[in-house]
Chain A
Amino acid sequence: MEPVREAARLDQAAGLLPGPLRRRVLALPLESRAEAEELRLRRGRPLSVLTPRGEEFLLDTAVTGHDLETVLELASACSVHTVMEQVRNGFVSVAGGHRLGLCGVGVMEGGALVNLRELSSLSLRVAREFKGLCRAVLPRLWREGRLESTLLLSPPGGGKTTLLRDLIRALSAGEGCPPLRVGIADERGELAAVAAGEPTLDIGPRSDVMSACPKAVGMMTLLRGMAPQVLAVDEITRPEDTQAVLQAAGCGVALLATAHGGSLDDLCRRPLYRDLMAQGIFGRLVVIGNGPEGRRYAVTDGEGRPC
C-alpha cells in the first residue's frame, strides 16, 4: 500500500465535506488518512472515521443538518434532481468511485420510497484500489483452464467491491492468467468511476463499462454489443438482477458478482439467491472475513467444498 496515494483517495472524498469538517479530516496523520475506509456524519454528533480497527470519533467536531445538506448538494454538483433515483435507493455515487450512503426521514408514495427529507446520517465510503489484492484468490477460480463464475460474499463494508475491481483489472490485463474481455455493469459507478467516458479507476485494458443503468439492462446490453468473456456486476440485490444473472449464465460467459452475506448457508436461506445457488450458476464462492491480521479469503466451490 502506498500511503500517499491512499491518503489522496480519502482527501478526494473529503472534498465533499463543508470547509471546517474537511480541514479537520485533512489534518489527520497520513497513516490514518491512508487506512480510512469511511467517514460517518451523524446530525448533532462528532464526525467519525472508520478504519480497520473500528470507528474513531473526531471529538472536536459537530455535524449539523446544514452540513449534511451541503454534502449532498456538493455530491450532486448542486443538482440534487440529477441523483434522485440514487437517493431513492439510499446512496449516491460520487466522482472518484466513492459512495455516499444516505439516511433520513423517508417520503413514501404508493408504498415506495420517493425521497428523503431531514437527512440524519451520511456515510462517505472511500473507493480504494489495492492492486494485487486478488492474487490470493484468482488462481483458485479456474477449473480445467476455464474461469468459473464466482460470487464474492461479505457483510456490508467487507471489501467485496475492492476485490471485484482488482479481479477485473487482473483478468483484463492477463495478470497471472490469460487476458480476457471483461464487461462491467457498473450501475453505481463504483467499479470503474467513469468520468467523461473514461474510467478513473484501474479496470485493465480489456474492460468495457456500462454505467449508471440498472444492472440487468447493463448486463444484457454488454452481452449483445460487446461480446464479453467475463461479465462483472456489483451487489446483486433485486429479483431483476438475479434474473439477468440467470440469463447471462446461459450465454457461456463467466460471471463475477458480489452479494451481502457471511457464508453459503446465509445465502441459501435468502429466497433471492436460493434459485441462483440451486441452479449451480456459481462454481466458486469467495467469502471475505475479517481477522486480527486483516482480511481473509475463503474460496469454495458452489457446494461449499474448499478449493
Chain B
Amino acid sequence: MLKLLGAGCVLAGALWCGLDGAGRLSRRARTLEELHAALSWLAEELAFRLPPLPRLLEELGGTCQGETGRFFQEALRLLRADPEGGAYQSWRQALARCLTALRPEERQALLEVGRALGRFDAQTQRQALLQGCRRLAAFREEARGEARRLGRVYLALSLAGGTAIILMLL
C-alpha cells in the first residue's frame, strides 16, 4: 500500500514538472499574442486618435491581462515618477522587471519599439510599432509551434521519467 502511495507521488511530481514546462511554453506564446495585439492597437491609435502616450499606456494597463497588463502599468508608473527620464527609459525599466517569459531576442524587439515611443511624430512611431508587430508575430508563431511540439514532448518525457523512477525503486 505504501509502495503504491509512493509510486503515485513520484508520478504526480513528474507530471507536474512536465505540465509546468509545457505551461511556460504556452505562457510565452500567449504573452507574445497579447503584446502583438497591444502594439497593433497602439499603431491604430497613433494613426487616428493621437492620444498622449501616458493615456495609451493607462488604457493598455487596464485592458491587457496578466504580465502584459503589469508591464504597461509599470511603464506608466515609471513614466509618471520620472518624466525627465523619458518614455524609453520607463519602457526599458518596465521590460527589465516584467515579461519574464520572453527570450532576449523578443525583449530586444520590444526595446526597439520603445526607442521610438513618444519621441517622434506619429508616422515614425507607427512604423516602429508595425515593425515590432511583424517581429512579434514571427516570434509568436515560433512560440505556438514550440508549445504544441515541445508541450507534448515534455508531458511524455515527464510521464516516462516518472514511470522509470518508479520501476527502478520497486
Contacts and interface: CB of A to CB of B under 8 A. Distances in A.
Residue among A74, A77, A80 facing the most chain B CB atoms (10 A cut-off): A80
A19 B85 CA distance: 10
Contact of B118 (A18, A19, A80, A84): A80
Nearest to B86: A73
B50 A82 contact: yes
B50 A78 contact: no
Given A73-B86, A74-B84, A80 B121 contact: yes
A77 B122 contact: no
Given A70-B84, A70-B86, A77 B53 contact: yes
B119 interface: yes
A69 interface: yes
A82 B119 CA distance: 10
Given A73-B119, A84-B121, A84-B122, A79 B54 contact: yes
A115 B52 contact: no
A81 B46 contact: yes
Contact of B52 (A19, A70, A82, A84): A82
Contacts of B84: 18-19, 70, 74
B15 interface: no
B83 interface: yes
Given A18-B84, A73-B86, A81 B54 contact: no
Contacts of A18: 84
Interface of A is mostly: helix
Interface residues of B, number: 17
Interface in B50-94: 50-54, 79, 83-84, 86-87
Contacts of A76: 52, 118
Interface string B20-45: 00000000000000000000000000
Contact of B54 (A19, A69, A77, A115): A77
Interface string A12-43: 00000011000000000000000000000000
Contacts of B54: 77-79
Contacts of A81: 46, 50, 118, 120-122, 125
A56 B164 CA distance: 83
A73 B121 contact: no
A80 B119 contact: yes
Contacts of B122: 81, 84
B72 to A, nearest CB: 14
A18 B51 CA distance: 24
A58 B50 CA distance: 38
Nearest to A79: B52
B164 to A, nearest CB: 56
A106 to B, nearest CB: 14
Interface in A46-77: 69-70, 73-74, 76-77
A78 B121 contact: no
A5 B46 CA distance: 39
Interface string A95-125: 0000000000000000000010000000000
A222 B20 CA distance: 65
Contacts of B119: 69, 73, 78, 80
A77 B120 contact: no
B90 to A, nearest CB: 8
A220 B46 CA distance: 29
A80 B86 CA distance: 11
A55 B83 CA distance: 29
B50 A73 contact: no
Contacts of A69: 119
A77 B86 contact: no
13 contacts: A18-B84, A19-B84, A69-B119, A77-B54, A78-B53, A78-B54, A78-B118, A78-B119, A79-B52, A79-B54, A80-B120, A81-B120, A82-B51
Given A77-B53, A81-B50, A115-B121, 11 more contacts: A18-B84, A70-B84, A78-B53, A78-B83, A79-B53, A80-B118, A80-B119, A81-B46, A81-B118, A81-B121, A84-B122
